[in-house]
Structure 1
Amino acid sequence: MILALGRIAIMANYGDKTHDAVANNAVNGEIAESPIDRIAKLLAGDKKVKVAGIDCDGILRGKIIHKSKFLSSLESGFGMSSAIFGWDMHDVLYTEETSLTSADSGYQDFTAVIDLDSFRRLPFEDNIAFFLLHFYIQEKPVFADGRGLVKALSNNLADSGYKGLAGVELEFMNFQTPSQDGYSSSTDRPNLAAFLANNAPKALRPVTAGAFGYSATRPIMAKQYFHDIFDQSLELDCPIEGWHTESGPCVYEAALAVSQVSHMADNVALFKSVFSTNAVKSTGLIYLSRLVCKSVGVQHNITPCFMAKPIQGLPGNSGHIHVSLTTKEGQNVFVRETPDADPRWPDMAYLSDTGRHFLAGIISALPDIMPLLAPNVNSYKRLVENYWAPVSVSWGFEDRLASIRLVAPPSCKPSATRFEIRVPGADIHPHYALSAIFYAGLRGIKNKMQITIPPESARPKETPAERLPNTLEAALGRFGAKDSVARQILGDEFVDFFTVSRRHELRQWREAVTDWEFSRYIETV
């Protein structure tokens, strides 16, 4: 297989000077240094390299390989088991086989292709060199590979004359990591999995108690942890634009700096992986959300939690997604130069025709793409009234209670015009969610779709808005239907595969005996 190698993304301490120098040499008739030669120079002092791909739960799956193996794999890739797309987040094989992986095929290897543009070093793991992967099978992209989906999306946007920009806000709760026996000794080895095997989740202690959003003082109670996350995000080339406490017991919110959609998808996955509890095998932990050998949370004996709804009776952890389109020159295409003198609704006065079509596409698709915005059983526990989470197909100018918030002049500068999709929780698979949102919007542009529902400010109170699916099972019914918008924008293979993975998740939930059931029925029946 012949693979095209893109230019190498050099870390911030190198800048783009290496690439510029190579380009200048080529112009001057000198022999340009190959990407492989440049990578070899960058890794001159390394003995090993860490590589990882992203599975259908948004989890990093990877390994460390010897530098010689890494360099020899740059042109042809290397084999990696397809089982990572055939099992769930706890490595349990799906109860139904898929067209992608099966026992009949022996869970054959995919070809893992190293993405040179993803190069960075992991500051929390002895500065080891790190690269992300794309997956291929028989020289074709694996259709369930989220990074492949976003790569195809970026190409689609470019072919249409656009660049996609995105920003994501992630909320997460932080717990003190207990030992197997709890919190009685500060010297015992942390062992969250063993603790939860014998204790209810409510026995976990948040790092700080009580709700105190935007507190200027609460971060001081976990000062080193709080600042390490911010600082090491910068080192990882995953910058945080805004960083503060949210309402809830030790809830933090990170607004990741806006970037091109492919970069943002990777940054969300890396941020969650880097700063979650991360299944450190050497300490006996079983991963809760993402797998990386070392993390800031582990260093501080803190377990960050990206579940959509960790605690009943409190707001959940959101994962709001901001999206916009620009021309290749960087001009925002969602905004009008001057306001519409006679808009159908005042909310859309500054929204361009392209922006209106894009919004109409998302509104039309929203109920059908819910499993990609709310992928887990727990996701739907967050989407309830009175907790700052949307429950209906709705939109509005600067409306934080709607599913889609329009941010436009006069509340922002024209270049910042965008849509905030407020349905997702922090448990999203970023590549899947961003692909679904942008493809839905592009469908609206292509078909010149019109906005069919009024903004919430203009909706008659006696006319109820369409409700979003309120369970994963209901969402899968819309997602997998023959006429689903999801099938139109993402294809049958992907929809069928992801449906199997979510039906498996539902089965795990149905067969579980919960604390609520045990407490309710142990004496009464």
Structure 2
Amino acid sequence: MTTQEILAYVQQHPSGKVKVAVTDIDGVLRGKYIAAEKFSSIAEGRLGFCDVTFGWDMGDAAYDNVKFTGWHTGYPDALVKLDLNTFRKIPWENGTPFFLGDFVNEQDVAAYTCPRQLLRKVLSDTELQGFTPYFSQEFEWFNFIETPETAYQKGFQQLNPLSPGMFGYSILRGSLKNEYMSDLFDLLCKFGIPIEGLHTETGPGVYEAAIKYAPVMQAADQAVLFKTAVKEIAYKHGLMATFMAKISEHLPGCSGHVHQSLWDKGSRYNLFYEQKDPHKMSDLMKSYIAGQLYCLPQILPMIAPTVNSYKRLVEGAWAPTTLTWGIDNRTVALRALPGHSKTTRLETRVVGADTNPYLALSACLAAGLYGVKHKMKLEKEATTGNGYKDLSNGVLPFNLHDATQMMKQSAVAKELFGDQFVEHFTLTREWEWKQFAKVVTDWELKRYFEII
């Protein structure tokens, strides 16, 4: 739709309002409704939005360790530029118009804290090298027959799952609460998030969805909106959806695998494909994989951003622990999927469902391009068999603290994303770790209360 068509839709919509949103550093959508009349005046201008968006954590606790904003700045308004290309109609809100925005200054220079703008920067670098990146993120998540009120009342313990038991790829379980699964598929597609597949995954009340491949910025927008849209649709059915990486030590975690490939400028040729190679993998793809193997330990908090992320990255739980790659091997960090000229791609399996998609996709793309830029060779042979036992290239950091310190000190991370972003982001991860470190957990009470 043209700008004039969008403005006409907004003005004619019976609700008289527009929903706008931005993402914070954790990938949480922060937004509000604005009147249609006000929207018309700022559609191609700027909107004031409190910069506390990057001054607090996902629980609205104000950081005391970042420079960008805080009590020392008075939390002024920042400028948000709406991206009219993100226009959508919210089907579960009677077609209410919706837009995403970016944080910028008065000269339209990106705010270094803005995740969407970071991906724009990485995309720009990619295009300068003559590549068009196509990406997709797939998600697993748990669904519970709960509301926010009941979950809080239960202390988030003993929640009632949508379905009992372990039953992945179940046609039978897909029939249970089928109106919810059907709504997910239909409403997400109407909201501009095309779903290629939706099925039950192993675990009580677990679903998995694959989002259709798209240019990387569109793919990130779709992934960010997918997570919130699923939660909103779940509310409509009296359910709660969670994208936590790990809800129980007894159950598999929830992944957010990233699929990726590089194409030529015209999006005609998949540059990861090489017919003459024994594995149909081009030298470009091999360098891209080598770059990720090298960079991942140094930028891991961008794809494993929470304390909980590292509870998923344990041996035997369908998530990688080693710096490995293999061909169609689900025990490694990087799963190469060569074959057809249209479908040859790389799947980065380290990524969890709890990620900020803008940061996760930025990390994967920038790390891969690092290998391409430096003409890195994929010297390590593909892992065959159990990737958990292949320690030849090292292992991933074991917790958020260690991963954050590695990124904070990494010259590579600063080269890829800039000093200011790395400083701000790692400070937010240090804050996250400190919030966890001071809490007395249920495990400690059960372990020590009587015996010690």
Pairwise TM-score range, normalised by the shorter structure = over 0.9
Q: Residue 138 of structure 1: CA displacement? A: 4.2
Q: Residue 160 of structure 1: CA displacement? A: 1.7
Q: Secondary structure at the residue paired with 2:11?
A: coil
Does 2:159 correspond to 1:191?
no
Query: 334, 354, 357: which one pairs with 1:430?
Result: 357
What is the aligned partner in structure 1 of residue 39 from structure 2?
70
Q: Residue 521 of structure 1: CA displacement? A: 2.6
**Could you say if the C-alpha distance between residues 394 and 463 of structure 1 is closer, same or farther in structure 2, counting changes exceeding 3 Å?**
closer
Does 2:270 correspond to 1:315?
no
What is the aligned partner in structure 2 of residue 274 from structure 1?
229
Q: Secondary structure at the residue paired with 1:253?
A: strand
Q: Secondary structure at the residue paired with 1:83?
A: helix
Tell me if the contact between 1:219 and 1:245 (Cα under 8 Å) persists in the aligned partners: yes
What is the aligned partner in structure 1 of residue 445 from structure 2?
518
Q: Secondary structure at the residue paired with 2:260?
A: strand
> 1:383 corresponds to which letter in structure 2?
L
Tell me if the contact between 2:322 and 2:391 (Cα under 8 Å) persists in the aligned partners: no
Q: Residue 337 of structure 1: CA displacement? A: 2.7
Distance in 2 separating the partners of 1:44 and 1:108:
30
What is the aligned partner in structure 2 of residue 43 from structure 1?
10
Does 2:100 correspond to 1:132?
yes
Distance in 2 separating the partners of 1:465 and 1:364:
9
Q: Secondary structure at the residue paired with 1:210?
A: coil
Does 2:310 correspond to 1:380?
yes
What is the aligned partner in structure 2 of residue 452 from structure 1?
379
What is the aligned partner in structure 1 of residue 322 from structure 2?
392
Q: Residue 62 of structure 1: CA displacement? A: 0.6
Q: Deviations over 1:239-265 (max 9, x none)?
A: 110110111101100001111110111
What is the aligned partner in structure 1 of residue 270 from structure 2?
332
What is the aligned partner in structure 1 of residue 208 from structure 2?
253
Q: Secondary structure at the residue paired with 2:92?
A: coil
Q: Secondary structure at the residue paired with 2:171?
A: coil
Q: Which of the pair has more CA radius of gyration?
A: 1
Alignment of 1:127-166 (within 5 A): 127-139=95-107, 140-166=109-135
What is the aligned partner in structure 2 of residue 344 from structure 1?
none
Q: Residue 43 of structure 1: CA displacement? A: 1.7
Show structure 2 runs of 5+ residues with no match. Answer: none
What is the aligned partner in structure 1 of residue 333 from structure 2?
403
> 2:12 corresponds to which letter in structure 1?
G
Distance in 2 separating the partners of 1:462 and 1:387:
16
Does 2:396 correspond to 1:468?
yes
Q: CA RMSD, aligned part only?
A: 1.7
What is the aligned partner in structure 2 of residue 227 from structure 1?
182
Q: Residue 465 of structure 1: CA displacement? A: 3.8
Distance in 2 separating the partners of 1:118 and 1:426:
22
Show structure 1 runs of 5+ residues with no match. Answer: 1-9, 11-18, 20-34, 179-189, 277-294, 341-348
What is the aligned partner in structure 2 of residue 58 from structure 1?
27
Q: Residue 444 of structure 1: CA displacement? A: 1.2
Q: Residue 462 of structure 1: CA displacement? A: 8.3
Tell me if the contact between 1:79 and 1:111 (Cα under 8 Å) persists in the aligned partners: yes
User: Is 125-134 or 455-464 further displaced after alignment?
Assistant: 455-464
Alignment of 1:275-290 (within 5 A): 275-276=230-231
Distance in 1 separating the partners of 2:308 and 2:111:
28
Q: Secondary structure at the residue paired with 1:40?
A: helix
What is the aligned partner in structure 2 of residue 265 from structure 1?
220
Q: Secondary structure at the residue paired with 1:129?
A: strand
Tell me if the contact between 2:334 and 2:347 (Cα under 8 Å) persists in the aligned partners: yes
Q: Residue 232 of structure 1: CA displacement? A: 0.5
Count of residue correspondences: 447
> 1:165 corresponds to which letter in structure 2?
Y
What is the aligned partner in structure 2 of residue 210 from structure 1?
165
Q: Residue 459 of structure 1: CA displacement? A: 10
What is the aligned partner in structure 2 of residue 287 from structure 1?
none
User: Is 217-226 or 133-142 further displaced after alignment?
Assistant: 133-142
> 2:400 corresponds to which letter in structure 1?
L
Tell me if the contact between 1:436 and 1:486 (Cα under 8 Å) persists in the aligned partners: no
Distance in 2 separating the partners of 1:120 and 1:433:
23
**Could you say if the C-alpha distance between residues 463 and 125 of structure 1 is closer, same or farther in structure 2, counting changes exceeding 3 Å?**
closer
> 1:488 corresponds to which letter in structure 2?
E
Q: Secondary structure at the residue paired with 1:43?
A: helix
User: Is 218-227 or 460-469 further displaced after alignment?
Assistant: 460-469
Q: Deviations over 1:481-508 (max 9, x none)?
A: 143x211101111111011111111111
What is the aligned partner in structure 2 of residue 479 from structure 1?
407
Distance in 2 separating the partners of 1:486 and 1:329:
30
Q: Residue 39 of structure 1: CA displacement? A: 2.6
Distance in 2 separating the partners of 1:51 and 1:176:
29
> 2:275 corresponds to which letter in structure 1?
E
User: Is 137-146 or 355-364 further displaced after alignment?
Assistant: 137-146
> 2:186 corresponds to which letter in structure 1?
D
What is the aligned partner in structure 1 of residue 91 from structure 2?
123
Tell me if the contact between 1:384 and 1:390 (Cα under 8 Å) persists in the aligned partners: yes
Q: Residue 82 of structure 1: CA displacement? A: 0.5
Tell me if the contact between 1:407 and 1:420 (Cα under 8 Å) persists in the aligned partners: yes
Distance in 1 separating the partners of 2:119 and 2:173:
37
Distance in 1 separating the partners of 2:178 and 2:59:
32
Distance in 2 separating the partners of 1:56 and 1:517:
30
Query: 30, 54, 61: which one pairs with 1:85?
Result: 54
Tell me if the contact between 1:168 and 1:322 (Cα under 8 Å) persists in the aligned partners: yes
Distance in 2 separating the partners of 1:77 and 1:462:
52
Distance in 1 separating the partners of 2:173 and 2:82:
41
Tell me if the contact between 1:113 and 1:136 (Cα under 8 Å) persists in the aligned partners: yes
Q: Residue 101 of structure 1: CA displacement? A: 1.2
Q: Secondary structure at the residue paired with 1:158?
A: helix
Q: Deviations over 1:78-115 (max 9, x none)?
A: 2111001000011000131x232122221121111111
Identical aligned pairs, as a percentage?
38
**Could you say if the C-alpha distance between residues 458 and 223 of structure 1 is closer, same or farther in structure 2, counting changes exceeding 3 Å?**
closer
Distance in 1 separating the partners of 2:6 and 2:296:
42
What is the aligned partner in structure 2 of residue 415 from structure 1?
342
Q: Residue 193 of structure 1: CA displacement? A: 5.1
